[in-house]
Amino acid sequence: MSQGGGTGIGRAVSLLLSEHGAAVAINYSHSKAEAEDTVQMINSNGGRAIAVKADVSNDGEVRSMVETVAKTFGGLDYLVNNAGITEQLRFDDLDAITREIWDKLFAVNVIGMFHCSRAVAPYMNRRNNGAIVNIGSIAGVTGFGSSLPYAVSKSAVHGLTKSLARALAPNIRVNCVAPGPVDTRWWKGNEEKMQAFAKANLLGRISTPEDIAETVLMPLASQSMTGQIILADNGQSL
């Protein structure tokens, strides 16, 4: 199951998983057209995919979504927690950070991941095997990104990954991919800032969604990896 799989990294992950033979459930909250377009791309190429609406910050909606997916496909093997939101805020303007912004970002970026992971765990345990990959961010390592609350929320995702790895072992492996800047619609209107990041990292480039999808595939497949934060940042953090 690909959470937030209709656009950007989520779409790239969904397409790549399908290419490797996986049946894919694509979760969306607002991007219905994009999610259904991804489903059509997969199905037209001989794959198997469905789109399921759920607000990941709502535990009831998540449980219903997971039940639907499990019934449709006969179980669950993988979860990619990709849904995320941000606010573009100046780092030095602390007064612009409201409680509403904190609550909104943590509800989706952190608690939403927990909801989805908790909901899929019983189905994975029935098969004595499963893998979860959370999409974190280099912002959770460096403390810098689109906004201070976003960076803190991604740091929490990295912590959640380690805690879930302990809680769900030994049947379910939980890892995290932490990308640097990725060329997605998130950067619309902030292209200059994105290119500045490219110039500052060792490889002088910005990742594509397909780059990150290939990285996600590794911890999904590995039977010997859990609790790891995998940096895919073109050398930005060095």
Q: What is the pLDDT of residue 186?
A: 65
Query: Residue-wise pLDDT tens for the chain (238 aa)?
Result: 665 556 789 999 999 999 999 999 999 988 899 999 999 999 999 999 999 999 999 999 999 999 999 999 999 999 999 989 998 899 999 999 999 999 999 999 999 999 999 999 999 999 999 999 999 999 999 998 889 999 999 999 999 999 999 999 999 999 999 999 898 876 677 677 777 777 788 998 989 999 999 999 999 999 999 999 999 999 988 8
The DSSP letter of residue 186 is: G
In a domain, 128, yes or no: yes
Q: Number of folded domains in the chain?
A: 1
Question: What's residue 238's pLDDT?
Answer: 86
pLDDT of residue 125: 97
Closest CA to 36 of 51, 19, 55, 53: 51
The residue range of the domain holding 185 is 2-232
Whether the CB-CB separation of 34 and 8 falls below 8 Å is answered with no
Q: What is the pLDDT of residue 4?
A: 58
Look at residue 238 and tell me if it is in a domain. no
pLDDT at 237: 87
Please give the Cα distance from 105 to 163 (Å, whole number): 20
> Is 237 within a domain?
no
d(C-alpha 184, C-alpha 103), whole Å:
24
The reported pLDDT for the residue numbered 156 is 98
Tell me which residue has tokens 């996986």: 22
pLDDT for residue 137: 96
What does the pLDDT read at residue 130? 97
In a domain, 211, yes or no: yes
Cα atoms in the 13 Å half-sphere on the side-chain side of 132: 35
Whether 89 is in a domain gets the answer yes
pTM, 2 dp:
0.93
DSSP letter at 49? E
Residue 79 belongs to domain with CATH number: 3.40.50.720
Identify whether 150 is a catalytic site residue: yes
> So what's the pLDDT on residue 190?
67
Bridge partner list, 132:
79, 174
Report pLDDT for 2. Answer: 61
